[in-house]
Structure 1
Amino acid sequence: MACGTAPATDSVIRTEVLVVGGGTGGTAAGIQSARLGSKTIIVEPTSWLGGMISAAGVSATDGNHRLPSGIWKEFRDRIYAVYGGPAKVETGWVSNTLFEPRVADSIFKAMAAESKDLSIYYGWRFDKAIKEGNKITGAVFINDKNETLTINADITIDATEMGDVMASAAVPYDLGMEAGSLTGERVGITETNNVVQDLTWVAVLKDYGSAADCTIVRPQGYDPNEFDGACKEYYLNKQLPEPTVNAQAMLDYTKIPNGKYLLNWPKAGNDTYLNVVELTEEQRNAELEKAKATTMRFIYFIQHQLGYKNLGLANDEFPTADKLALIPYHREGRRLKGMVRFTMRNLAEPFTYGDPVYRTGISVGDYPIDHHHKKNLSAPQHLEFYPVPSFNVPLGTLIPKEAEGLIVAEKGISVSNVVNGTTRLQPCVMLTGQAAGVLASLSAKQHTTPAQVTVRSVQKALMQSGAWLMPYLDVPADRPQFAAIQRIGATGILKGKGIPYKWANQTWFYPDSTVSETTLVDGLATYYPNVKAATVKEGNDVNAETLYKLILMADPSINSFKLKTSLKPFSGAMKRSEIAVVIDEYLKPFDKEVDLNGRLNNTKPKF
């Protein structure tokens, strides 16, 4: 890997895959693309890799603790190796995995260094997209010396924090909340607006010992009442919601190893409402100073009002003059108008609402719908932890409807504003980025547009890289039937059941349960209409004899002797896992292509 190599002044470079932004998703995309053998360049404006999980300081991961898929598992395993195992990073109560931001940066850089086809250029800011007709063909960057860097690419990935590439290329996007009449969502959003989530400029405090006094100079405009209700020790206005935690628990919320605390407290803490998405870089920077100021006032409140004088800004974390994070934590930006728009109802009702886009899943997530609007009281306040099951993200959310040569990753994928409240979290963004890298590499190698790359080819490449397609909590990757169940689940022949559950939503496959004959016939019939003629009874569970008949009805060319021999060990009702393995081996329904809406290629769209 050419890591940090400085190109010549006003250079023009050619590559197969260009990733604009080395954030959580962008870094995963670049690493995965290079691992598949595509010449890949990541261009990152800061000196760090990882974006929100490192440079923005949000190193308490949200979700996917029990869904160790793909590059997220690899990253987490390396975190465990640094600190000495899972128990060593369960330091705060908001997450199962908390770590120092600088460690995340070092891990991503180590992973990137292992890819010979990956180059990374630091210190270059995105300036504009290069477009020929309807195709994005690269981007131009600028550095602090006002030098330019032009990179031409077969495929460009927009992995910026706010979707700046698609905006520059005039690719249609959404910003803010959509009315339910547009999305079909039933969550009480009646009118479209431009409201985005609060952002946060994270700080890391460090315990310098009981004798230390690290109190900062009183910030301009400080008023402790700004943080009224942050914790039980400071609750004056009884009209405000009563705090549920004391000051120490507030700090322990995001306690990270080595006596440090992330400051990312949403309840009368250091969130700030700023909508800077459509501003120029200069305007953004000016506005974002307000977010920094909020955090500095919160630090002073903790030190002076709550008495934690021993906690000071960590001097060994961020390489910034003010010791704050390198970049703010943007929870939301522009969202692509993609080939598929993933809405709340797609997520909550995957088998009954709209097209079966779950068949095209490329990343998994289990965190609740989590919206931060407490610093903007004019925004709807009811979307925090809205109940949904775990889910997978459809491939079509990464692909523009009206442009070629571009793939979108990070938080800019084609989801509704409501769904962004869960797809924006670190593990899901990392996995979606990995999928973007697969799609980009295959598109470049096949000399075709991302929309023309087949769904199943992307999914197969992801599975070969250890990624999950379906979020089955009860089928871990070390189970022998894992791959077959993932493939059969992605066809919908056997379906799981989703359950909203606290901070970690669930989907269960029930591999050791039985399945009724009518349920299996219904599942097979989409792919093999002949099975509709089978004589089955409601309430009868599938056994070896029934499965034998159904498989031969589905495909009479199958070797009946071999099939019967395979089924001989099974007596009585078969388990769902056993049925999945046999169907996967003999019928191979996962090899049947589906389009980006999850429809079989020989079926007609729904109207």
Structure 2
Amino acid sequence: MPTRHIQVPFAVIGGGLGGTAAAVTAARLGLRVVLTEPTDWLGGQLTSQGVPPDEHEWIDRQSISPSYSELRERIRDHYRREYPLTERARTTVALNPGAGFVSRLCAEPRVAHLAVREMTSPLEASGLLTVLTEHEPVSVDRDGERIVAVHLRDLRTGDEVVVHADVFADATELGDLLDLGGVAHVVGAESAGETGELHAPAVADPRDQQAVTWCAALELRPGESHVIDRPASYDRWRTSVPSFWPGPQLSWTDVHPITLERRERPLFEGTPEEAIDSDDLDLWHYRRILARRMMTDDWAGHDVTLMNWPQIDYWDAPLVGVTPDEQQLALRESRELTLSFIHWIQTEAPRADGGAGYPELAPRGDVMGTVDGLAKAVYVRESRRIRALFTVTEQHIGREMRGEGAGSAVFGDSVGIGFYRIDLHPSTAGRTYVDIDCFPFQIPLGALIPQDTVNLLAANKNIGSTHITNGAYRLHPVEWSIGEAAGALAVFCATSGRRPEDVHADPVLRADYQRLLSGRLGIALAWDDEIRTGGSRSAAVVTAR
């Protein structure tokens, strides 16, 4: 087949939350956009990676990003329209279909994907947005400081598609364009000497990358048996005890992410039957994405929860800075760890009500868009990060470094706001949790713009953050806001004829761009001072992790 060429003003490579937000924002503002994604679902960590949104306590109470709020309401409205909710659930403004306590919106990844495609559908029909799912980037053409084309492989046919654009956004999960295009970037942890951060390691370590997790969905079917085959690597994970971990990975033992104290976290506090109507702070209710009690009595379904627990964090090997074969091995082992933990739960796990094993737990592939119940893609917490015009460090947002009541740094080039604790999971360098309190923060424009490439924008976890601050800027609503700002910037540059770095450097241009964000798009660029200087995550979410 001949190579297919596409020419557009704006190309977004990677269809996670950041990429989707960038593409939808630009297309709604009238720019023609191509959006590519290696899986067949858009939405990244919310959908193909199977992670309910990690959000802050103001997400339902303060206007932050109208388009992100729209996505959340589309998810809720799907349940109101299509599911037999009880009257109480249907009339709850902040409907939480799963009644999980990790988020105020625990919902099925499949439904989240439908909501995302509702947002893209009219744009695709108009011709402003072209979506290429199951396409991965394989190479990048550069001309000096510019990227001129990205070569994609159609994963269904093997055919090549070459996308030419005036502006590109790297919204891939691992910052693939940074590597393919020779864009200056950072991998792993910087040293304290380089960043001056209190919690950075003494020596830089590229292999210090947060664990990935291959999530899965489980349904509670009382009285039935759904035991999966014993994975070939089961004995390895059953006996594995990392030096920084208090017990085998296949156990209910883990550590509190803040205090690092050993703890036991059962799947159920009582019997599985009691869990249906309870609000226990156990693993089942942590990321439950479908609650039987939300439905009328004639509904035939059951509780479904999302496995994204410390026991299935894969920290044996990194995904970035390794050979393709090493990366594929790490991905296979991550899947095998999750399958091993499912088999252990079904057959050997101590039950709170006595005995061992929960054979009544069934993998729900349809919830994840797969056959085996595992997510389509691994959950990635850390990516390559650009050498940016500005890098956010712990000094800008960390509560300990800035001092109680000081609040986060105020950025004159803010393009959005966000909040999450600096939450670093155990790493592939053998480091345990690093969990640091921080203030609600802003997203600076300079963090989205590389130092050495004039027409590339970072639109995911690859912005100018450090290994430390990535732990706060990597979550769902922040990633969306990063992508949203990148999409609006592409439009602003197309209409003004200026480069991203020009907008950042010129106070007049920057103010015009910020008026586009805050005026036409309604995006909040600053927190109220009371929140910025004193906000802290809700106790329920802190305790849950």
Q: Paired residue for 1:175, among 187, 193, 196?
A: 187
Cα–Cα, structure 1 residues 275 and 269, in superposed 2: closer, same or farther, change >3 Å?
Answer: closer
Q: Paired residue for 2:30, among 34, 37, 44?
A: 37
Correspondence for 1:200: 213
Shift of 1:366: 1.5
Correspondence for 1:55: 48
Matched, 1:262 2:306: yes
For residues 157 and 455 of structure 1, what CA distance do their matches in structure 2 show? 19
Query: SS at the partner of 2:485?
Result: helix
Matched, 1:278 2:278: no
Correspondence for 2:116: 108
Correspondence for 2:222: 210
Query: SS at the partner of 1:177?
Result: coil
Structure with larger Rg: 1
In 2, are the aligned partners of 1:157 and 1:436 still within 8 Å (CA)? Answer: yes
Query: SS at the partner of 1:317?
Result: helix
Residue identity opposite 1:141 in structure 2:
L
Shift of 1:171: 1.0
For residues 475 and 234 of structure 2, what CA distance do their matches in structure 1 show? 31
Q: Paired residue for 1:449, among 489, 499, 521?
A: 499
For residues 478 and 262 of structure 2, what CA distance do their matches in structure 1 show? 32
In 2, are the aligned partners of 1:232 and 1:244 still within 8 Å (CA)? Answer: no
User: Can you give the 5+ residue segments of structure 1 that lack an aligned partner in the other structure?
Assistant: 1-7, 476-495, 506-607
Shift of 1:265: 0.3
Correspondence for 2:285: 252
Correspondence for 2:419: 366
Instruction: Give me the TM-score of the superposition, normalised by structure 2.
Output: 0.80
Correspondence for 1:28: 21
Q: Paired residue for 1:415, among 447, 465, 485?
A: 465
Shift of 1:274: 2.6
Q: Paired residue for 1:97, among 105, 110, 116?
A: 105
In 1, are the aligned partners of 2:17 and 2:46 still within 8 Å (CA)? Answer: yes
Q: Paired residue for 2:528, among 467, 472, 479?
A: 472
Shift of 1:232: 12
Correspondence for 1:75: 71
For residues 364 and 466 of structure 2, what CA distance do their matches in structure 1 show? 37
Query: SS at the partner of 1:497?
Result: helix
Cα–Cα, structure 1 residues 15 and 197, in superposed 2: closer, same or farther, change >3 Å?
Answer: same
Bigger shift: 306-315 or 36-45?
306-315
Correspondence for 1:333: 383
Residues 333-380 of structure 1: CA deviation (Å, up to 9, x unaligned)? 100100001111112449999x9662211121121000101x65732x
Instruction: Give me the TM-score of the superposition, normalised by structure 1.
Output: 0.72
Shift of 1:23: 0.8
In 2, are the aligned partners of 1:163 and 1:412 still within 8 Å (CA)? Answer: yes
In 2, are the aligned partners of 1:233 and 1:246 still within 8 Å (CA)? Answer: no
For residues 351 and 326 of structure 1, what CA distance do their matches in structure 2 show? 42
Residue identity opposite 1:11 in structure 2:
R
Shift of 1:244: 4.6
Shift of 1:233: 8.2
For residues 405 and 362 of structure 2, what CA distance do their matches in structure 1 show? 53
Shift of 1:322: 3.1
For residues 121 and 388 of structure 1, what CA distance do their matches in structure 2 show? 38
Correspondence for 1:549: none
Correspondence for 1:537: none
Residues 156-211 of structure 1: CA deviation (Å, up to 9, x unaligned)? 0000111111221111111111112211212252111110000001111112x212
Cα–Cα, structure 1 residues 28 and 503, in superposed 2: closer, same or farther, change >3 Å?
Answer: farther
Cα–Cα, structure 1 residues 44 and 503, in superposed 2: closer, same or farther, change >3 Å?
Answer: farther
Matched, 1:302 2:345: yes
Query: SS at the partner of 1:316?
Result: helix
Calculate percent identity across the aligned residue pairs. 28
Residues 544-570 of structure 1: CA deviation (Å, up to 9, x unaligned)? xxxxxxxxxxxxxxxxxxxxxxxxxxx
Shift of 1:321: 4.0
Correspondence for 1:293: 336
Residue identity opposite 1:163 in structure 2:
G
For residues 17 and 99 of structure 2, what CA distance do their matches in structure 1 show? 22
Query: SS at the partner of 2:457?
Result: strand
Correspondence for 1:187: 199
